[in-house]
Amino acid sequence: MVYKYEPKGVCSREMAIDVEGDTIKSVKIIGGCDGNTQGVSILVAGMNIDDAIRKLKGIDCKGRGTSCPDQLARALEEIKAKM
């Protein structure tokens, strides 16, 4: 199932996260630093949701208190809560 998430406090504008069971099938991030968001998307594809949250949560970008990877972790937490 594809979930949409609107990140807060970062440059990216939307995340579309395709999840099957407890596995991330794919992530598409619109906006943000293109190379970094593509890299994060490729790295988490096929990863267990809990593992991705543990690795990404708390990453900071330029003192913002969050980042695109951190926002992805928050989105995954919301998805888990709905499961």
Looking at residues 22-44, what average pLDDT do you find?
96
Banded pLDDT at 11 (limits 50, 70, 90): very high
Looking at residues 37-61, what average pLDDT do you find?
98
CATH of the domain at 41: 3.30.390
> In b/e form, how buried is each residue of 33-46, taking b as 16+ CB within 10 angstroms?
beebbeebbeebee
Taking the model in full, what pTM does it have? 0.96
d(C-alpha 4, C-alpha 35), whole Å: 21
The pLDDT, as a whole number, for residue 66 is: 97
What is the domain extent for residue 57?
A: 2-82
Banded pLDDT at 35 (limits 50, 70, 90): very high
Counted domains in the chain = 1
> Half-sphere exposure (CA, 13 Å, Cβ side) for 6?
0
